[in-house]
Each structure stands twice: as structure tokens, then as C-alpha cells.
Structure 1
Amino acid sequence: MLKKIMSLLLLFVLVISSTLPAAASAEHKNKGKEVALSKQLKAISKNTYRYFEDFTDSNTGLTYDAVRMENGKLSSQEFTSPTNISMYMMSTVSAEEVGLISREKAVKNISKTLTSLEGMEKWNGLFYNWYYTKDASLMTDWGQFISTVDNGWLSAGLIVIGQAYPELYNRTHSLVEDMDYSTLYTPEVGQMRGGYDVATGSYTAHHYGAFYTEPRVASYIAIGKEDVPKEHWWRMFRTMPESWDWQAQIPKGYTETYDGVEVFEGHYSYKGIKYVPSWGGSMFEALMPQLVLKEKELGKNALGLNNKRHVDIQIQYAKDQGYAAWGMSPAATPENYSEFAATPLGMDGYKSDGTVTPHATFLALEYAPMEAFKNIQALKRFNMYGKYGFLDSVNVETGEVTNAYLALDQGMTMVSIANYLQDGVIRDYFHQDQIGKSPEDLLMKETFSIQ
């Protein structure tokens, strides 16, 4: 009997021993890929940040909206928006975090931007949508529009800066405190307006009703500032009600009550995968907010899980379409700018014509790093990588590359890389501030119907 036991033990040891080299080899291989990805991301961030170094006005600290290469010549759009300003500031923090610039340089450059912001024309502390980069003056010929979503992103950037550089906190905090989001909120509806036209004295006809879109950052900040009640978070639609049959799918789900508000926790499905849709189905609607919000860490049963589902479906949808790369999101085109998406992911999905934009890959980094690594190589094969990192888009069906760089998309790339390489550092800064910290329970308590 003892001999039999000893034989079985020997057999067990031999089996375990034979599997260890394979397992160790796989682990070593994955580690090698992670190191290669990190090295490549560092190189990409250096080129990407060069955009902000070369196309930010040295006096005002304001970054050009976009640049295009036409017939071998550079054409600059020397105006900027609140979102662009935020992307520049957070990209500068990101550049310091990954070792591209010194802390001293970062603070000096951002101080110029803050000086411009302090002197800009505003409405109830909120910023207009377009200013000239040369002198920070208002672009009145484009209309005097106050955008809810753009102000939300500027607030987010200011909050991050105030925590990354405490010596700038009083300036950033003062700007954010003055931004009165209550002026864009409709209590009877429980939602934020799209914006306000100062010239005509009129609000937009629409509210931001869809929850899983990029304006949720503005909503989160407005709640954190106590400009609007927490109820607002629950008054937005996860899907539109089942009776609204114009939407892409009739949602399935159930009603749940949070903080005394009934919420229809609906979902759509793609090939058996459940998800809460965005409005158009693009990557930046889904994942831009998680650049600053701890959705991955705190919203494990809701936003974090849904972010992962959107990445998975973006990848699967591109594969189903036969595309050579994935990542559909609004981007520059040879003609101008257009909206693209993995169409099924939207309530009223944007088009999919083979146009892919690199910023979508970087937004997905923390949810699918190895898939992103492969996609970066696939995108480089289209000859769209250069002095300022990736050009803004390519049609993978025709091979046509858009010879343009956008401040918004360069910024999303920079912040995504910093968050991946430095364990969510930009999100950490945002949540260190009381405005970012106080509504965290909203992220934690919800459970989407996609389990």
C-alpha cells in the first residue's frame, strides 16, 4: 500500500513539474509583452506631447484646436475650447508623470494657461466655447455658446492641476468654484441642458438625458460642487424607456430605486453580450470620462464593467466587419470632422464606414492592454505615425489617412498613457479633491443589469 502511495506521489510530482515550464514560459512571455508595451507607450507619449509643445501659444498657454498638413504645408487652427485647454493641462501633468518634462516646467507652463483663464470672458463663471489662442479673446463670430460638456472637462482639468501642483490650488479652486452649473440645470427634468446661447438668450432645446455619454463628467462635478442635487445622477437614462421604440433596440431590464429615485436599469445585447449603450456607440462617449472618474475601481458592477463591455464589443464588431484594426470614435476626416462608432453600441448609433481613430485604442488600454498593443502595430502599418504621434484617423477599408492632429485626441492619448503607466495617477489626483471624492458613493452603489 505504501509503495502504491509513493508511486502516485511521484506521478503527481512529475505531472506538476511538466506543467511548470509551460506556465512559467507563458508568464515570461506576457511579462515581455507588458514591458514592450510600456516601452512603446513611453515613446508614443514623447511624440504625442510634442504637439502641445509646438502648438501652444508661448504667451497665453493656449493650445491650437488642430493642425493639418495640406500639400506639404502646415495649416493651424489657432483657436481653442475649454476641453482643449483641459487636455493641454492634463497632458502636461501626464508628461511630467512619465518623465518627459520637469515639474518646474510643468508648473511654469500651466501658470500661463491659468492667467489666461482668469482673464477670459465668462458667463456665470462658465467659459464660452471658442477663444483665440493669440490673446485669449472671445471668438464672437462663432456665436456665444456655453457648452455644458466642455465646461465639465475644463473643471476636471483644473481639479487635477490643483491636486498635482498644490501651489496652484488656490487659483484652480477659485476658477472651479465660480463655474455655476446650476444655471444649466433644469430641476423639473432633473437633467442638464446641452448649453446656453448668450447672444440669443436661449438654452438648447435638448437636455443631456443619456447617462452613458461623455457629459457625465460635468454631471459628476456639478454634484460634487453641490451646484445640483445627487438626484440628478439617477434622473438620466441608462437606456431610454422600453416604450420609446425609435431606439436601436428594445431594452431589457428592471426598475431599481436609488436614493428614492426609480431608475430603469435597462440594457442592450450584442452577440449575447449585455451592455448599457451610449448615444452614438463611440469609444470616447464610453471611455473618456474614466480618464478622471474612478469607474474601473469603484463602479465594478456598473460603469467599470460597462466600460469593459464596450471595449470588448468595439473589438468584436471590427472583427465582424472584417476591419484590419479597431477603435471607432469621432475623428478628423480628409474633408473635416465626423462621428464614427461601433454602431450597435449606440441608442441611435453613428455610422461605421471603416474609419478608425487611434485615440480609441489608447482609451481602451486599461481594459484590454494586449489587444491595444496589437492594434497599435496594426495602425502603424497604415503609415500614420509621425513626428506628433498618430495622425487622427485612417479608413482601414481604403487606406486613406487623415493628415491632421487634434488637441482633443492628442490629449486623450496622453492622459490614457499616463494612467496606464502610473496606475491611474490622473484619476487619483481628481479624486483627492473633495469635489471628486464626495460623490464616490454614486459610482459604488449602482448595479447595471448586465451581470
Structure 2
Amino acid sequence: MVVVGFLISSLLVSPAAFAKDNRHKEFDRQLESIAKKTYRYFEDFTDPATGLTFDAVRFQDGEKNAAKHTSPTNIGMYLLSTVSAEQMGIISKKDAVAKIQTTLNTLEKLPKWNGLFYNWYNTDGSLKTDWGQFISQVDNGWFSAGLIVTGEAYQELADQTSVLVEAMNYTPLYDPNVGQFRGGYYVDRGELTGHHYGMFYTEPRVASYIAIGKGDVPSDHWWKLYRTLPAEWDWQAQIPTGPTVEYDGVTVFEGHYQYKGINYVPSWGGSMFEGLMPGLVLKEKELGAKALGLNNKRHVELQIAYAKEKGYPAWGFSPAATPEGYSEFAATPLGTSGYKNDGTVTAHATFLALEYAPKEAYKNIKALKELDTYGKYGFYDSVNVVTGDIAKAYLALDQGMIMASIANYVQDGVIRDYFHSSEIGSKPEELLKKEEFSIQ
């Protein structure tokens, strides 16, 4: 089994090795061209009066259907995408600041709860009450991240962004008895969610990191998240193995799963964005070389291996739009309770993997284009490589992940650098540095 694991790893080419290839300059140009098309989504589908981006736009039977509502994550992705576009020369700094200024002016007026933003607003700036009044921990985390990066990128906006971030109080969502966050709070019901965000290798860790950096929750919260669920919870996909260690006085089970002879810490569903989306802003690759950074690399390797095992012409499994709606997809074995796989591939997964497998990403982008998934605003959200069905939709969330991923790749981690140059971003860095997963 070890030999199999070695062979899979040997199929991947390191970013440093690919950079020596003559194609890397051509690849950078291709990525910048993709980013230009992708950012056009934000230019065409952001309300010019409010600076709020549409959640999604679908093209079907010659008709355009725009979802004129937005979320804190969508707003955060718009901010990150606009910074990314400016850094790559797609728009000028003057334009970027003007666009974001419009958004910030709107944000100051939006209704909030303890400084946290409701999960849905109409793009005219009104609260979307027909979907309830939910406060989401994870969505606010991405919103905070976008504000932090913006404030560092444009000092002329720093006062506005800082006021908004500091007012966002994560403490009411935290359960000190468990040391974990609740999923959120229903304002109209006056109830916290019944579930906690307990798994570490999922996208809510961005909000956890930010809440620690702000001082809203104690730093030992980081260690009270499950790397894998306890071994005695035998309903999970595998029974994890690994040592029990101590960090900062907290006992942590450093468990792992195994697939094709390779050890890894699972996400909940086995999708790419759960594992790698936080790396858009967190220096996991740089500071967590023996933990999160290494695990990110393993998940990319294993997603590629999973697609090869299935005989698919392309890889990249993550929640995405479908022709009928939206659904969760994954490389199922990589999850504790793995999401389904039916051959649906989404482009944002490839771009999240750029820095861990650039040569494979280069090939996969070409494969996705050959599957006729490249349109006016970049890549359509998904294609089923078994049936050929294409979801001719663009989602602000996924467009934003593509934009920030490209900017980080061609501009040497620029989005992460901005985030970590803030006090909130730099304060918890030791948490990333000191951990060692049992997957070496």
C-alpha cells in the first residue's frame, strides 16, 4: 500500500518544478485571461447602486435568470475578487476603491445582529425576510475575511472596514461548554442551531481563526475541534487511527483516515472547498507544512486519484450548481460522511488546487474547456462528465474562489499576505505552525 501511495504522489509535480517548465508563463497568461472573464460576472451582476452582487445567474434556453439576493459570503467573495482583479491589472486601483466604497457604504446601513450580518439580503439592500432571519457563523467568517483583506489592500478604506469587523461579535455563537461554535442563530426564533461546527477540516475554520484573532473566543477553541471524530463513533466512513497529543494544555486526537495507501485528515463531505477554501486567506501551505498545508496537498492528490480510478476525463469534486438546482458533490472516500459522486465536476475545485498541483490543474483546465464548459463569464459551474450535462450557471461564491485562487497563484499569495498583515490575521499564526497531523 505504501508503494501505491508513492506512485500517486509521484504523478504530481511540485509548484517549484512546474515553474521551471517553459509553459508556466503561458499558463499564467491563460489564468489571467480566465480571471478577466470571471471578474466580468462581478462587473455585470453587481447592483451599481448598492455594490451587492447577485447570488447566481443561470442561462437556459436563451433566457437569463438572475438571483437578485446575496449573502455575507457572496459579499466577501466580491471584495476578494475586486482586490484580486486590481492586483492582476484587470481594473485600476481607482476603480477598485470606488466599487468597494459603494459596497461599504451599503454595508454600514444594512440591519445586523451583534454586528454580524444576516444570511440573505436582496441586492437592493433590503433584508430578505421570506427566507428567515438566520445568522451564519461560516458566512460571516468569509465576510470578515473579505473586509480584512480589503482594509489591508486599500488603507483609504481601512477605517470603514475595521469598524465593521470589530463590531462583528462572534461570542454569542460560541458554546464555551463544548469549545465549539454553533452553526448559527435564528433571530426570528431566538434560537441557536442545535448543531455545532465540530470538524476542523471544514470551511468554518476561517471564522474560528478570525474569532480567535479578534479575541472573541479563546485560542484553545482551535484545539477543541475534531481532527477526526472519536474512534468510538463507529458510524463514520472509517475508524480513524492516530496518536493522542497535547497542545496548549488541550488533549487532541490526531487521527487520520487512509485511501489508496495515503493518510489524510478527512473533511465532512470529502469536497474540495471544505478543505481548501480556507487557504485562500490562511497561510496553511506556508505555516502549516506538517498539518493543514500537508493535508491540503493530500486532498488534491486523492481527488485526482479518485477521478482516475473512476475513469473520468476531468477531476474536481465540490458542491456546485446542477441543471436542476444545486447539490453537494465530493470524492466520497475523503469525507467522514461523504457527499455523493455521480461524475459532476466543478471548475472552482481545480483553481483551489492550483498551488498544490499546478501541472495537473493546467491539464484539467484544458480538459474542462474541451467539455464545452467555458463561456462569457469563465467556466460554467459544473459538468457531469458521465452524461455530458452542463449547468449553465455562474455562482458568486464559486466565481470568487476562482478569482482569489488565480490571484494567489500568479501574484505569489497576495490575498493571504494581505490577510496576515492584519493584527487579526497574524495573531493566531502560532496555531498553524505548531500542529503536526499524524499523516507524515
Question: Smaller-chain TM-score range?
Answer: over 0.9
Q: 1:207 aligns with which of 171, 196, 205?
A: 196
1:399 aligns with 2:385: no
Partners of 1:410 and 1:141 in 2: CA distance? 26
Which aligned segments of 4 or more residues in structure 1 are displaced greater than 2 angstroms? 27-31
1:255 equivalent among 244, 258, 264: 244
- The equivalent residue for 1:388 is 377
Q: 1:113-135 CA distances to partner (integer Å, 9 max, x unpaired)?
A: 0011100000000000000102x
Q: Distance in 2 between matches of 1:273 and 1:384?
A: 32
- 1:96 is aligned to 86
Q: What's the CA shift for 1:30? A: 4.9
Equivalent residue number for residue 273 of structure 2: 284
**1:147 and 2:133 aligned:** no
Compare relative contact order (CA 8 Å, sep 6+) and give the higher one, 1 or 2.
2
SS of the equivalent of 1:74 reads strand
For residues 309-333 of structure 1, the C-alpha deviation after alignment (integer angstroms, 9 at most, x for no partner) is 0000000000001111000000000
Counterpart position of 2:172: 183
Report if the CA contact (8 A) 2:179-2:221 is conserved. Answer: yes
Q: Secondary structure at the match of 1:243?
A: coil
Question: Which residue of 2 is the match for residue 169 of structure 1?
Answer: 158
Equivalent residues in 2 for 1:326-405, closer than 5 Å: 326-405=315-394
In the superposition, relative to structure 1, how do residues 72 and 273 fare at CA in structure 2: closer, same or farther (>3 Å)?
same
1:101 is paired with a residue whose SS is coil
Give the total of aligned pairs: 424
Gap runs ≥5 in structure 1: 1-26
User: Whole-Å Cα distance in 1 between the matches of residues 133 and 85 of structure 2?
Assistant: 33
The residue that corresponds to 1:312 in the other structure is 301
Deviation at 1:155, TM superposition (A): 0.3
Specify every segment of 5 or more residues in structure 2 that has no aligned partner in the other structure, as ranges: 1-16
Distance 1:92 1:162, change over 3 A: same
* Residue 44 of structure 2 is aligned to residue 54 of structure 1: yes
1:109 matches 2:95: no
RMSD: 0.9
Tell me the distance in 2 between the aligned counterparts of 1:123 and 1:62.
19
CA contact (8 A) 1:33 1:370 kept: no
Whether the 8 Å CA contact 2:45–2:54 is kept in 1: the answer is yes
Taking a change above 3 Å as real, the CA distance of residues 335 and 385 of structure 1, as seen in their structure-2 partners, is same
- d(CA) in 1 for partners of 2:21 and 2:370? 24
Percent identical across equivalent pairs?
69
| 8 Å contact kept, 2:180–2:224 | yes
Residue 410 of structure 2 corresponds to which residue in structure 1?
421
Please say which structure displays the higher CA radius of gyration: 1
Which residue of 31, 34, 37 corresponds with 2:21? 31
Q: CA deviation at 1:31?
A: 2.5
Other-structure match for 1:16: none
Say yes or no: does 1:231 pair with 2:215. no
Paired amino acid for 1:160: V
State yes or no: 1:448 paired with 2:410.
no
Q: Structure 1 residues 28 and 42 mapped into 2: Cα distance closer, same or farther (>3 Å)?
A: closer
SS at match of 1:256: strand
* TM-score between the two structures when normalised by the length of structure 2: 0.96
Do residues 269 (structure 1) and 258 (structure 2) align? yes
Aligned mates of 2:316, 2:19 — CA distance in 1: 26
